[in-house]
């Protein structure tokens, strides 16, 4: 197994830039993206060597508690992005364009992306959308904004897509391939595919020059992304089939908190060692 350049913080770049991700694709190497929404988790993920921290609009579900990503506002996204940027030293910080903040025109997309970069200090943005949004990508790239195109299942369109469904099956693959190519040609530096059958994702990856990131899209993409609360077992909600659970933080935290609760009720906390003496 070759030692990946990006996965080795001691040897790799001090800050992940778009050309490092392109190098990964060119060299047949992988990289990892993980969502983050606050400074402390950003610090932990950054120190662990994660290459990209995604301030996903999944914050609507995982932080605020909405049942979809639609209600989150640009102002809320800016706050989460600032927090993550404060914790990330090496990882690239990418922020989602939230629902309703970019669709109307390329100019609206530029305005939103600039706010996420200027006020949130993101280094790139991610936009959900098909080839119909290629002009939006072109305008953002022209304004100096690196863009990741998000295709396949796009949660902001869950109602239009008829719920959480795998995309790109059968004939739909040709359209998805055309979307990916149009976004790449408009200047997207990376294409993220969500809930796409592995053979379809592999085919799309093979026709693209730019790196790809997958979530529920098999192993052929250059990178992978997961929502951190899902992969660390913090959430209560049932995790999708494509999520590997690396820890069970919900029970670890629950246990620690009930221990603290019992200690307080029994008077054993604070004991002498935690008290100020004159
Ligand atoms: O918002 C998010 O977390 C995302 C990932 C699921 C890709 O878009």
266 and 210 assigned to the same domain: no
Three-class secondary structure of residue 193 per DSSP: strand
**CB of residue 35 inside a 6 A radius of ligand 1:** yes
Nearest CA-CA partner of 207 in 229, 228, 185, 223: 185
Say how far apart CA 17 and CA 189 lie, in whole Å: 11
Q: Which residues are part of a known binding site for 3-methyl-2-oxobutanoate?
A: 57-58, 96, 126
In a domain, 11, yes or no: no
Burial of 120-134, coded b for 16+ CB within 10 Å and e otherwise, reads bbbbbbbbbbbbebb
Residue 103 corresponds to which tokens in the numbers above?
A: 């669709």
In a domain, 10, yes or no: no
Residue 3 has pLDDT above 80, yes or no: no
Work out the average pLDDT over 91-120. 98
Q: Which domain holds residue 263?
A: 249-278
In a domain, 13, yes or no: no
263 and 243 assigned to the same domain: no
What residues does 193 pair with on adjacent strands? 151, 214
**CB of residue 29 inside a 6 A radius of ligand 1:** no
pLDDT of residue 168: 80
Cα first-last separation, the chain: 59
Nearest CA-CA partner of 176 in 151, 158, 159, 156: 151
Percent of the chain whose predicted confidence (pLDDT) is above 70: 96
Residue 76 has pLDDT above 70, yes or no: yes
pLDDT of residue 202: 97
Pocket-testing residue among 155, 157, 201, ligand 1, by greatest number of atoms within 8 A of Cβ: 155
187 and 260 assigned to the same domain: no
How far does residue 142's CA lie from ligand 1's centre (Å)? 25
In a domain, 122, yes or no: yes
Pocket-testing residue among 32, 52, 64, 69, ligand 1, by greatest number of atoms within 8 A of Cβ: 69
* Burial class, 141, CB count within 10 angstroms (exposed 0-12 / middle 13-18 / buried 19+): middle
202 and 255 assigned to the same domain: no
Work out the average pLDDT over 157-166. 84
145 and 270 assigned to the same domain: no
In a domain, 1, yes or no: no
Going by pLDDT thresholds of 50, 70 and 90, the confidence category of residue 239 is: confident
217 and 268 assigned to the same domain: no
DSSP state letters, 95-136: EE--TTSSTT-HHHHHHHHHHHHHTS--SEEEEE--GGGHHH
255 and 158 assigned to the same domain: no
Peptide bond into 262 cis (omega under 30): no
How far does residue 57's CA lie from ligand 1's centre (Å)? 6
How far does residue 71's CA lie from ligand 1's centre (Å)? 15
85 and 182 assigned to the same domain: yes
Say how far apart CA 29 and CA 33 lie, in whole Å: 14
Work out the average pLDDT over 190-204. 97
Say how far apart CA 125 and CA 117 lie, in whole Å: 8
Going by pLDDT thresholds of 50, 70 and 90, the confidence category of residue 113 is: very high
How far does residue 1's CA lie from ligand 1's centre (Å)? 29
pLDDT of residue 5: 61
Domain of residue 100, CATH code: 3.20.20.60
Residue 107 corresponds to which tokens in the numbers above?
A: 């100019």
Residue 245 has pLDDT above 60, yes or no: yes
261 and 238 assigned to the same domain: no
Task: Answer yes or no: are the C-beta atoms of 122 and 91 closer than 8 Å.
Answer: no
Split into its structural domains, the chain has a count of: 2
Q: Among the atoms of ligand 1, which is closest to the Cα of residue 225?
A: 7
How far does residue 56's CA lie from ligand 1's centre (Å)? 5
Nearest CA-CA partner of 147 in 132, 135, 156: 135
Q: Which of 51, 194, 259, 273 is catalytic?
A: 194
158 an active-site residue?
no
pLDDT of residue 278: 79
**CB of residue 227 inside a 6 A radius of ligand 1:** yes
Q: Among the atoms of ligand 1, which is closest to the Cα of residue 33?
A: 7
């Amino acid at each position: 197994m070759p030692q990946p350049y990006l996965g080795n913080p001691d040897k790799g770049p001090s800050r992940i830039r778009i050309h490092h991700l392109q190098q990964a694709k060119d060299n047949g190497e992988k990289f990892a993206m993980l969502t983050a929404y606050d400074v402390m988790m950003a610090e932990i993920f950054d120190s662990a060597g994660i290459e990209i921290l995604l301030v996903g609009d999944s914050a609507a579900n995982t932080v605020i508690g909405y049942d979809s990503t639609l209600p989150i506002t640009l102002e809320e996204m800016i706050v989460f992005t600032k927090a993550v940027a404060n914790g990330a030293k090496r990882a690239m910080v990418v922020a989602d364009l939230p629902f309703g903040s970019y669709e109307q025109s390329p100019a609206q997309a530029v305005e939103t992306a600039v706010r996420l970069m200027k006020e949130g200090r993101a280094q790139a943005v991610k936009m959900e959308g098909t080839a119909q949004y290629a002009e939006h990508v072109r305008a953002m790239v022209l304004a100096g904004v690196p863009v990741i195109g998000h295709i396949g299942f796009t949660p902001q369109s869950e109602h239009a897509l008829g719920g959480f469904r795998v995309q790109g099956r059968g004939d739909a693959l040709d359209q998805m391939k055309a979307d990916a190519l149009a976004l790449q040609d408009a200047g997207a530096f990376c294409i993220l595919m969500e809930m796409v059958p592995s053979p379809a994702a592999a085919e799309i990856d093979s026709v693209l020059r730019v790196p790809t990131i997958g979530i529920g899209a098999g192993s052929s993409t250059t990178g992978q992304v997961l929502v951190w609360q899902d992969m660390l077992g913090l959430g209560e909600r049932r995790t999708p089939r494509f999520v590997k659970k690396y820890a069970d933080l919900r029970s670890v935290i629950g246990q620690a908190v009930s221990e603290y609760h019992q200690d307080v009720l029994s008077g054993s906390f604070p004991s002498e060692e935690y008290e100020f003496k004159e």
